[in-house]
Chain A
Amino acid sequence: MKQNYHHALRFNRRQWLRVATASGAVGTAGNSWLSSLAADTLTDPRRKRSCILLWMPGGPSQTDTFDMKPGQNNGGPFKSIATSVPGINICEHLPTIASQMDRLAIIRSMQTHEADHDRAAFYLRTGYKPQAGIQYPSLGSLISHQHHDAESAMPGFVSVASPRLASDSSYGAGYLGPSYSPMLVGNTSNLANFANPDRFSDERLAMPELHRPSSVTPQQYIERLELLKRLQAPFSQQHPGIGPSAIKSAQERALRLAASPLTKTFDLTGEPEKLREEYGMNLFGQSCLLARRLVEQHVPFIELTLGGWDTHIDNFTAVRQLATILDRGWGTLMRDLEDRGLLESTLIVWMGEFGRTPTINPQAGRDHFPSAWTTVLAGGGIQGGQVYGSSSADGTEVEENPVSVPDLLATVCQALGIDSTQQLPSNVGRPIRIVDKEASAIKQVLS
């Protein structure tokens, strides 16, 4: 920790300017750099890959999902089943995933040391531990900052049904500024959303304000927007600060999105009933379907949430229920993407903030466990059909190839064609890398 601080002091102004200009952060807010990236992406399909984060708050139990310990005392009641890849077995409640194991790289050796929900969630979501005053952006904001096409009406970062419970500050754009905030769909304004993951109705994902209100005629709509533009001009001129321009820019983006035919993306009612049922008529399942539609529109980063994994009590009932929902949604998503030829250009990341104890507590639950747990990468950029790293026979520690949070995120960046060592200007006067410099991407899981 102290080393980083002294290093920052040594990074003098001249060096900073050089780095900042190279990354386009100084001057025209990165326009020149971004347009050359956009040009590159047209020719290199790999760099325009979308990323879908399947965020599992609470911390899923690895022993009951992807790192089964059959025969161990604390292995639990679930059976381990064979998958489409001989030698790799996972939980019986993930059959659809099991049949697509050739698309997955399971990392069984996560070793992260943070057992507190807030701190761990912050760490996994930003790649950094919380630190005084530094507004670290979430992974979604970082990736959309790198990949978003500024000309597109669609947002660069969409977060579906996010509960924003733990560690709220890791859900935002931090020092990247308001234009990289996620667009939140179907979430906090409807508080019942994640209390009942099973019950679903279209209004839970609906965005009624995307459309001109029905009581306003198109003529009136256009006229009053024009009036708004004319009337607010003088104030903006005399108030060139951040506040007024943030409001204006949000309004412009909002109106551009609302005017675009792409708003139909958020309307699931046109999808075939049969397909919707395969995804699962629950919030998570339908979020997966929405994610596919967003990938079709080249949205760079989509975050889906399935919460409820904090199973200190009655672990097995909860995990069985959640795993079933997860399996159908995620499994159908991968199949659907593949059918449309989109899987190669979609990276899927499955993770929570930590795993759970191999030992079972007196309430038939498992507690927080960051010492040896599991994350999964799948889709484009990933060499599927493998397990990387391992935990000991009793699951209490990592046996081979420990993986840290920065390692994982560096791997994600590389799969997306992003240089994770790149430095961005932060809110504390010194540039900060996208991923901590101690990270080393896991070459073995990258294709």
Chain B
Amino acid sequence: MMHPFYCNCKRIMSFFAVCSMLTCGCLFRYTIASENESEERALANEIDRQISANWPTHHIVAAARSSNAQFARRAYLDLLGRIPKVAEIRRFLADPLADKRAELVDELLSRPASVARLAEVLRGVLMPRTRENPELYHLGLSLEDWLRPRIQEGLGYDKIIHELLSVPLGEQDPQGRLASEVVEHFGAIAWYQINDVKPENIAAAASRQILGLKLECAQCHDHPFDKWSQDQFWQTAAFFSRLNMRQSPTMTGATHEGKPPSDKPVSLSIPKTVRMAEATFLNGERLSETDVDPRVALADWLTAKDNPYFTQVAANRIWEQWFGRGLVSPADDFRPDNPASHPDLLNSLAKGLADHDFDLKFLIRSIMRSEAYQRTSSVSHPSQLDPLQFARMQERPMTAEQLWSSLVTATGHHDPLPLTHRGLAGMDMNSQRVRFLTSFLGESRPELPQISILHSLKLLHGDFLNKYTDGDQGPMVVAVSSIPFLDQRQKVETLYLAALARNPTTEESSIALEYLQGKSSMPSDSLESEIATAQKLGDILWALLNSPEFMLNH
């Protein structure tokens, strides 16, 4: 927590920083600054140049820059997966530092919660079904467990994917227990399990999620829209031909990998044909060495720096998460007749990522420095409604996890840390968090939110929101209503900061105050009046949390 003394310290430090800059030309920073600042700025400038290049021809009028409050809320949601707390937003708004936005990004990226958030983002990319299907959610948690330490130690995205594809799956003992080295990779195995440990499913998943190619359309016949043939699909699947799913109807069926026969080529038979598909890379090169683990060979090829699909897809995924729409959209469908909206930009982003050893944070920081990312989402000109022009920041739905974490933050509810660290076994099905999350999962492609009646009812009528905005029980409400030195206007302000990370407008203040004062006939200092006021404050918080402004990342 930032201490006021520290804030003053910051001002003194800034003064010295400016002085030292004038004297020795170096910029002094005291938070964990990025080493690549100038390259991030360069890439940010490139983003803005490319985005605005077409605007004159399309008569696009860009939206204004977001306010500091809007930026902070967006940054917290994107980097930590929750809205800022009242103290955090107050501090940011009060900070006079000119470059405070970039500094906020640095600060948030140095917090442990940012690792968890990035793991969640990658899990959503690698296991899209866990965003829709509660039955599979625990597999997603396992994968996040595995991703977190790797993100924490700064492993590049290419190395993470390489490890995922080549993770040893080992053999089982007769009792069906997994070998000890396998336990260590338990989380990565979840990715195989969610694909039923079938070569064709894994090949389809790897192609879609990592290469952005919907190869599976070619599973039964040549691809209808693209150049892939059925043979190529199965040649890719052949790399996974040595995996076996033990005959077990449940998802937690064990995995088994056979020992490679010494002289036979790695191959798979194509169903309903008499053809065998030998493991061949998508560029036509056959897998030549038979003593190399075919999965390792595929992983090497797939994550190579000069593999254009890999780098572009990775860059596009991050862009999609941060902007709500990929430069190629849908992001798992790179095809000739689905070109990027800004091909040169995609190349620049891909190159930047590759040049920095696939450090996703480099790309994230660069994006967040750009004007494109920092634009407001408020529409001031109809030309801003075209999502392909990125002339404003489009509203994005929150993920179920972001929604929960934000509700918890805004209501002051104490959410015990989820037991995710024991992987598969550690998810407490009865915890409020898990129950909320599993009931809020649904189709949530960033550009097409499906909001169901039931989700609405859960928030409008549900127990959680009701209890935690109650005048007696909601921690935030109780705290705000009992602070003696805040008048009613300031109490309303605090609720707005808590729920929407901004101050209310004059009009909003009046509406809220009118609601608070109401048609009460009780003397204002009576106990009943206090209780009634507390409840009304709770109502205000309830209304704010049910508003689209709260539920969206904008």
Contacts and interface: CB of A to CB of B under 8 A. Distances in A.
Real binding pair: yes
A169 B445 CA distance: 11
Interface string B161-188: 0000000000000000000000000000
B547 A223 contact: no
Nearest to B439: A189
B183 to A, nearest CB: 26
A313 B550 CA distance: 50
Interface stretch (A254-262, A297-305, A389-397): A254-262
A201 interface: no
Given A165-B135, A310-B249, A241 B461 contact: no
Contacts of B542: 224, 228
B20 to A, nearest CB: 43
Contact of B429 (A191, A255, A258): A191
Given A212-B461, A220-B539, A243 B397 contact: yes
Contacts of A234: 505, 507-508
Interface string A236-253: 101111111011111101
Given A227-B515, A239-B395, A251-B460, A172 B548 contact: no
Contact of B466 (A215, A232, A312): A215
A239 B378 contact: yes
A131 B438 contact: no
B548 A239 contact: yes
Contacts of B549: 232, 235
Interface string B445-463: 0011111111111101111
Contact of B214 (A132, A208, A312): A132
A262 to B, nearest CB: 13
A228 B508 CA distance: 11
Contact of A250 (B225, B377, B435, B455): B455
B461 A210 contact: yes
The number of chain B residues touching the other chain, given as a range, is 35 or more
A39 interface: no
Contacts of A231: 508, 511-512, 543-544, 547
B370 interface: no
A133 interface: yes
Nearest to B507: A234
A220 B395 CA distance: 31
A216 interface: yes
Given A184-B454, A243-B396, A5 B225 contact: yes
B217 interface: yes
A76 B275 CA distance: 35
B221 A242 contact: no
Contacts of A235: 547-549
Contacts of A352: none
B421 interface: no
B456 A131 contact: no
Nearest to B440: A189
Contacts of A169: 132, 443
B547 A250 contact: no
B546 interface: yes
Nearest to B469: A224
Nearest to A229: B543
A133 B333 contact: yes
Contacts of A7: none
A13 interface: no
B542 to A, nearest CB: 6
Interface string B95-127: 000000000000000000000000000000000
Nearest to A223: B539
B539 A168 contact: no
Contacts of A191: 134-135, 429, 438
B338 to A, nearest CB: 7
Contacts of B385: 240-241
B552 A164 contact: no
A310 to B, nearest CB: 7
A178 B451 contact: yes
Interface string B469-481: 0100000000000
B551 interface: yes
Contacts of B484: none
B249 A312 contact: yes
A250 B451 contact: yes
A151 interface: no
A188 B457 contact: no
Contacts of A155: 453
B133 A168 contact: yes
Interface string B346-388: 0000000000000000000000000000000111000001000
B347 to A, nearest CB: 23
B342 to A, nearest CB: 19
A268 interface: no
Given A188-B438, A239-B554, A313 B249 contact: yes
B462 A209 contact: yes
A14 interface: no
A223 B452 CA distance: 24
B457 A5 contact: no
B149 to A, nearest CB: 29
Contact of A232 (B214, B454, B515, B548): B548
A10 interface: no
A111 interface: no
The number of chain A residues touching the other chain, given as a range, is 35 or more
B330 interface: yes
B286 interface: no
Contacts of A236: 548
A340 interface: no
Best-buried of B129, B330, B546, B548 by chain A (most CB within 10 Å): B548
Contacts of B463: 208, 213
A228 B543 contact: yes
B225 A211 contact: no
B461 A173 contact: no
A180 to B, nearest CB: 10
A213 B461 contact: yes
Contacts of B335: 132
B547 A232 contact: yes
B249 A244 contact: no
Contact of B539 (A1, A2, A224, A241): A224
A230 B511 contact: yes
A133 to B, nearest CB: 5
Interface string A163-196: 1110011001100001001011000110100000
B378 A238 contact: yes
A252 B507 CA distance: 24
Given A133-B333, A247-B451, A255 B135 contact: no
A247 B551 contact: yes
Contacts of A211: 461
A212 B542 CA distance: 14
A168 B466 contact: no
Contacts of B551: 247
A207 B394 CA distance: 34
Contacts of B232: none
B261 interface: no
A302 to B, nearest CB: 15
A223 B519 CA distance: 12
B132 A168 contact: yes
A49 B548 CA distance: 36
13 contacts: A131-B224, A132-B214, A132-B335, A178-B451, A181-B452, A188-B135, A208-B461, A208-B463, A231-B508, A235-B548, A242-B448, A242-B449, A249-B451
- Counting from the closest, the 9 A-B pairs by CB-CB distance are A189-B439, A254-B456, A1-B224, A243-B395, A209-B457, A250-B451, A238-B378, A228-B543, A244-B548
Given A250-B452, A313-B249, 17 more contacts: A4-B224, A132-B214, A133-B338, A163-B135, A168-B133, A188-B438, A191-B135, A207-B454, A209-B454, A220-B535, A227-B511, A227-B540, A235-B549, A241-B379, A241-B394, A244-B552, A254-B456
Interface of A: 1-2, 4-5, 131-133, 135, 155, 163-165, 168-169, 172-173, 178, 181, 183-184, 188-189, 191, 207-213, 215-216, 220, 223-224, 227-228, 230-232, 234-236, 238-244, 246-251, 253-255, 257-258, 310, 312-313, 427
